[in-house]
Amino acid sequence: MSELFVEAGRDWIAERRAVGRTISVSTEKAYRADLATWARYLEAQIGTQPTVEDLSGTTIKASLAEMNNAGLSPATRRRLLTTLRGLCRYLVLESRLSADPTAPIQAPRAPSRLPVAFTDGQISDLLTTAQTEDPQARPPAPLLDTAIVLILAAGGLRASEAADLKLNDYRQGDDPSLRVLGKGRKTRVVPLDAGVAEQIDAYLTWRAERVTADVDAGPLLIRPDGRPHTRDTISYRVNRLYVRSGIAKPEGEAAHALRHTYALSMVDLGVPISEVQQLLGHESIATTGIYLKASASHLRAAAAAPSAARLLASKPAPPREA
C-alpha cells in the first residue's frame, strides 16, 4: 500500500526535531499548515487522498497553477514550494522517493518591492486610536491595543515573537527591555524607550486584574478573557486598528509593517546596519540591507519635497555665462 502524503509530512517534521534541528512551535505550525494546503491541492488534481507516489513534477506544477488561479500570492507559493522541497529531499534521503520531483521546478518570482513603513503622523494616529476604546469590542481593551502597537512599532518584533513573549521577558526599571526568542531559537535583547515602558507598565496593571494565578513564565500579552495571544489574534487587533484609524492596510502581513517602520527609523537615525541586524534578529545582514535601499528611497522623496526644488524644476535653466 502506498504511503499517504500526510503521514510522510508528519514523519518529516518529527525527523527535524529528532536530529537536533530544533524548530519553534510557530515554525512547526506553519509547516503543518503548508502541508495541509498541498494535500488539498494535490487531492483536487488526482481525485483522492494523495500518496508519496503521486508527487510528480506534473502534479505539483498543476497544483501551483491552481494556487495561482485561486489568488495565492507569489510569496505564498514560493513558501509552499520551499516546504514541499524540504519534505521531498527528506523522502529521497530515506529512500521513500526515488527522485526529488521539485528539483526542476522554478519557484514563483516574488515582485521586487521595498518594505512599507508608516509616517510619524500615521503612527501617531494609530496610537491615538489604540488608546481610545473600540465601540464594537466586547470588552474594549485600549491598554492592550496600545501595548501591542508599541511592542511591534517601538520594539521591532514580529507578531509571532510578540505572541511568544513571557512575563519575565519584559525587564522593568532604568533600562527597560524585552528578551525576544526569534527565528532559529535565537535570543536577543531589545531596549525600550522609557515612555514605551511606561505604557507597558500600565498594561500590566490591566493584565494583573485578569490573571489570578500568574507565574513569570506566563504569556506577557493576554486577551481580555485571560487567554494568551497568538500571531493571528495579534494581527486581527492590528488590522482592526487600521480600519478604525483610516489607515490603508499595507500589502502582506499587517503587523509586519510596524516592524518595517521600526527598522527604517533605526536606519534613518544612523544606527549601524550591523546593530539594526541584531535588533531585528536577522540571521543574514543581506536581509537587513533592504532597509538601506528603502531609506535611500525615502530620502530621495524628501529631497524633492521642498518648495525650492519644485520651483527649480518648473523654471528653465538660466543661460550659461560666456
| Residue 304 pLDDT | 44
For residue 208, the one-letter residue type is: A
Distance between CA 157 and CA 235 in Å, rounded? 12
β-strand partners of 190:
178
Predicted TM-score (pTM) of this structure: 0.66
Average pLDDT over residues 289-312: 55
| 95 pLDDT higher than 90 | yes
17-26, 115-124, 177-186: lowest mean pLDDT where?
A: 17-26
At 313 the pLDDT is: 47
Q: Which helix (H) or strand (E) segment is 254 a member of?
A: none
Residues 142-170 pLDDT 10s: 999 999 999 999 999 999 999 999 999 99
Phi, psi of 273, deg, nearest 5:
-60, -30
Kindly give, in sequence order, each residue whose CB lies less than 8 Å from that of residue 271, ignoring residues fewer than 6 positions away: 279
Strand order in the sheet with 170-171: 170-171, 177-181, 187-191
CB 54 within 8 A of CB 42: yes
Integer Cα distance of 48 and 39 in angstroms: 10
What single-letter amino acid sits at 52? V
pLDDT category at 214 given cuts 50, 70, 90 is low
Give all domains of the chain, ordered by start, each with its CATH number. Answer: 5-93 (1.10.150), 120-303 (1.10.443.10)
